[in-house]
Amino acid sequence: MLKTNSTYQEALVDDKISAKRLKAIFGGSIGNLVEWYDWYAYSAFAIYFSASFFPKGNATVQLLNTAGIFALGFLMRPLGGYIFGRLADRIGRKKSMMFSVLLMSLGSLLIAFIPTYATIGIFAPILLLIARLLQGLSVGGEYGVSATYLSEMASKNRRGFYSSFQYVTLIGGQLLALAIQLILQKVLLSDAQMNEWGWRIPFVIGAILSVVALYLRKNLEETQAFENQKSHTSNKKGTIKELLKHPKAVIKVIGLTLGGTLAFYTYTTYMQKFLINTMHMSKEQSTLMSFATLFIFACLQPVFGALSDKIGRKPLLIGFGVMGTICTVPLLTILSHTTSQWQAFFLLMVALLIVSGYTSINAIVKAELFPAEIRALGVGLPYALTVAIFGGTAEYIALWLKDINHESYYYWYITICIFISLMVYISMKDTKEVSELDKDH
């Protein structure tokens, strides 16, 4: 009887822990969604507001200028990865995530109310750049800290599944931006209204949602991994000096991110412009296509994450590396020449299925490489540097190569980067089997 009662009490404790964990995963993920919605709204609505901030002329050049500011926003991400990663390792994951979402709200609010180039001239793109730099700082810190938070809150046997929700909500942020765009395009506003002032609406929404995310994060619990190492010497936590004690892990983060981030930004943020500029779809058609493919892409993340809990992280990464190296050039070449929307949809889904081998588990793989006292900085800073160099410049390079009539060079550029990452995947140990998360105590 005593044994039965003891078992029953243990079950109650487990249920309580599970409920607590689910609340943390939900709260952290929703905050992540709002952050990435704000970030992606810029890219999604650039097709409308690019003419508002730059002199009239070639549409591709206007998009090129807007993409240039998009890329410059990425330059702030390493600084954000350092600042917020350091804060997370020193004062807590929760507080760091609260600060980052507050900064994102400020950036979105600024974009919403910037006057046009016709009104204030050169100050319009300058203010747009400042707003984007603030957002870059925020989102640069978001990735490493939220990846750390979700991985530390997950149970050992379901880390791949739970941490995959970072990309579910990351993609969800883009879906929300596209959904609002579809509603504005199809239901509420004309094309002229969208170009004139309608593009400001999503940034107002973003600022409001950021306040909601701030409230959600305020009520989150701190991770046990952070609480357990709070007593460690504080001047060692979250420092570059401490990070450099793990050079192999830093190099692995850079190598495994390189090809994945370039492929991800190609098939998500840049693809909407590719469908318009290269395939000559209408803005509405490209938005709908992007929404449909990204929705399925988001649903794939937990499936791949759960699979990694069964078979390991390495097989999925190698699968992405091999298929990405072989298929990128054929997929994009065929896509650039197709006139069928259904064929385009199928090709995009094949590409996103391949990329899921990276996106679904890259956060947990990075978190498993570092000890708790340097984990947020270790995940965030090298990742942000790599994304700034390769992910942030993806649109700009693609549009520039198109402008000089060598668009196919971009396809080979992606292929080479994925192949380099593949070499890293093959050489590294499976982090599921040698996880630093298992050493948290």
pLDDT > 90? residue 144: no
Would you say 418 and 328 are in contact if contact means Cβ atoms under 8 Å apart? yes
pLDDT of residue 384: 87
pLDDT grade for 236, boundaries at 50, 70 and 90: low
Pick from 140, 143, 397, 104: nearest CA to 273: 397
- Strand (E) or helix (H) holding 72: helix 59-90
pLDDT grade for 189, boundaries at 50, 70 and 90: confident
Distance of CA 180 to the CA centre of its chain: 19
Neighbouring C-beta atoms of residue 282, cutoff 10 Å: 12
DSSP codes of every residue in 249-275: HHHHHHHHHHHHHHHHHHHTTTHHHHH
| 3-class SS of residue 164 | coil
pLDDT grade for 60, boundaries at 50, 70 and 90: low
pLDDT of residue 217: 83
Q: Superfamily for 24-218+234-439?
A: MFS general substrate transporter like domains (1.20.1250.20)
Q: Which amino acid is residue 269, in one-letter code? A: T
Would you say 353 and 316 are in contact if contact means Cβ atoms under 8 Å apart? no
Dist. CA 352–CA 346, nearest whole Å: 10
Most confident of the ranges 52-66, 165-179, 306-320, 388-402: 306-320
Would you say 94 and 217 are in contact if contact means Cβ atoms under 8 Å apart? yes
pLDDT > 80? residue 71: no
Q: Which residues contact 426 (CB under 8 A, 6 or more apart)?
A: 318, 321
Q: Which residues contact 296 (CB under 8 A, 6 or more apart)?
A: 349, 352
Most confident of the ranges 90-94, 150-154, 292-296: 292-296
- For 130-140, the pLDDT digits (tens) are 888 888 888 88
| 3-class SS of residue 79 | helix
pLDDT > 90? residue 237: no
Q: Across the chain, what does the average pLDDT equal?
A: 83
Q: Where are the domains of the chain?
A: 24-218+234-439
Pick from 64, 71, 62, 41: nearest CA to 394: 71
The DSSP 8-state label assigned to residue 222 in this structure reads P
Q: Which of 80-89, 119-128, 353-362 has the lowest mean pLDDT?
A: 119-128
Q: Which of 19-28, 77-86, 332-341 has the lowest mean pLDDT?
A: 19-28
- The length of the chain is 441
pLDDT > 80? residue 326: yes
pLDDT > 80? residue 30: no
For the segment 155-176, the average pLDDT, to the nearest whole number, is: 86
Q: What percent of the chain has pLDDT over 90?
A: 23
pLDDT grade for 406, boundaries at 50, 70 and 90: confident
pLDDT > 90? residue 425: yes
- pTM of the full structure: 0.80
Residue whose token pair is 């943390």: 24
Q: Which amino acid is residue 99, in one-letter code? A: F
Dist. CA 425–CA 19, nearest whole Å: 35
pLDDT > 70? residue 61: no
pLDDT grade for 8, boundaries at 50, 70 and 90: very low
> How far does the chain reach from its first CA to its final CA, in angstroms?
33
pLDDT of residue 417: 95
Would you say 409 and 328 are in contact if contact means Cβ atoms under 8 Å apart? no
pLDDT higher at 73 or 344: 344
